Amino acid sequence: MSKKYFGTDGIRGRVGEGKINPEFILRLGWAAGRVLGKQSGSRILIGKDTRISGYLFEAVLEAGLAAAGVDIQMLGPMPTPGIAYLTRTLHAQAGIVISASHNPHYDNGIKFFSAGGRKLPDEVELAIEHELDKPLVTVDSKNLGKAYRVDDAAGRYIEFCKSTIPWVMDFRELKVVVDCANGATYHVAPPVLEELGTQVITIGAEPDGININDGVGSTHIDHLQRAVLDHGADCGIALDGDGDRLMMVDSSGRVLDGDDILYIIARSRLENGGFTGSVVGTHMTNLGLEHALKSLCIGLERTDVGDRHIMERLEKRGWTLGGEPSGHIICLDRTTTGDGIISALQVLAEIKSSGKSLRDLGSSLEKYPQLLENVKLEGVSAVEIMASEALKSAIEQTQAELGNTGRVLLRPSGTEPLIRVMIEGQDLGQVQTLTQQLAGTVRDLV
């Protein structure tokens, strides 16, 4: 069955529009309580990022869960992966995250973690949707849920992050700039690094409810680049608003994206005897990473875009490492979900143990030029365009010109009326020409 409300990563949109309104979120809390809190004594955690609408949706979720007879533990501002960790270690039945990740403050969303700290399976989301279509009925007053504040939530998660590297390791010789995107990591990431001995320069750690992801964080990396150069830092760490994405900057100001970080961690695991299986990427993973991993005798399997798909493939194969260029890095040998802070610690640990700079570690991966062009759809469906024989022929011809040194990828956007045309290869000029030609074919069909 197709889902009516849930997207690939929960429910998200502009505050006050569509489903992101108090009435719907109240009902969502009640429906989730009915499905996830069936057993006696059930508890569900609620955490949020720093956007101003989090106060509103925290309150109505609490009311909906209480009406369903479920107790609530309130975490306050916490990174998404921290909420996953606390859901598991506090033995709650589920965790709810109020966040729109890297989006501006005027968006918000709701996503869920299971008792094991992982994204909910499709069948559970469908069960919640089924309850959403029923009339909201409050349990008897003696069975109403109660709400409690978890005062040491941040401290618990800070200790967990530090535990993901060897306890004898510290970073006393490193100067690091960390950009918290004015988001949920503002009170977590700096203490983690400071307690490990790092000399920390912090930016983007003054949230006011509306400045989340505003010119800072992993989607606005230029601010971090300038700070690294100005302070003569060894490297920079850029997190997004909810802390599950990571970008890094080396001492020269060069940006390392998710592919670079994934390669550094994979090679480190291999050299230290802690790597088995293959790496999982997406259709957007750079071909250069695939070839670099192959030279280490490590395979790469691709999935659809989205950390949910990466997680499903890792679990199916029994592997531990995956990620995507946007900075979602999943280290299942350390935690249960993508985690920007923990991924950054794995890179810093490799800097420390290898004696190499981030600049040196990142220079060994040669990524291929990759161009992406979006073609707007007007009055025609993506399905119709993608089924065109003329387009199929153009794709085959483009791939033939690239041979084994490049890739062609066309995919409809999941959120906008667009078809994304992506081509990568070793020769930038060829990639530019072929991208323009193939995008032109799509426009002609539109």
Active site residue ranges? 101
Burial class (CB in 10 A: 0-12, 13-18, 19+), 401: middle
The DSSP annotation for 313-343 comes to HHHHHT--EEE-TTS-EEETTT-SS--HHHH
DSSP state of 404: G
Strand bridging mode 107-114 / 418-425? unpaired
Torsion over CA: 203, 181, 185, 329 (sign): negative
CB-side neighbour CA atoms (13 Å) of 436: 5
SS3 156: helix
d(C-alpha 303, C-alpha 320), whole Å:
15
Instruction: Give SS3 for 187.
Output: coil
**Residue 319 and residue 276 in contact, taking contact as beta carbons nearer than 8 Å:** yes
- Do the beta carbons of residue 280 and residue 322 sit within 8 Å? yes
CA 198, 202, 205, 206 dihedral sign is positive
Please state, in angstroms and rounded to a whole number, the distance separating the CA atoms of residues 138 and 109: 24
Phi, psi of 130 (to 5 degrees): -60, -40
340-354 and 153-162 helices, crossing angle to 10°: 30
**Closest of 161, 151, 33 to residue 85, by C-alpha:** 161
| Residue pointed to by tokens 């809390």 | 29
Alpha helices in 256-330 (DSSP H): 258-271, 287-295, 307-317
For residue 150, report the phi and psi dihedrals to the nearest 5 degrees: -90, 100
Cα(159)–Cα(295) distance, integer angstroms: 36
Q: Which two tokens stand for residue 108?
A: 């918000």
Going by C-beta distance under 8 Å and a sequence separation of 6 or more, which residues neighbour residue 435?
371, 373, 421, 422, 423
Bridge partners, 244 (sequence order) = none
- CA-closest candidate to residue 188, choices 173, 205, 172: 205
> For residue 6, what are its two tokens?
């849930």
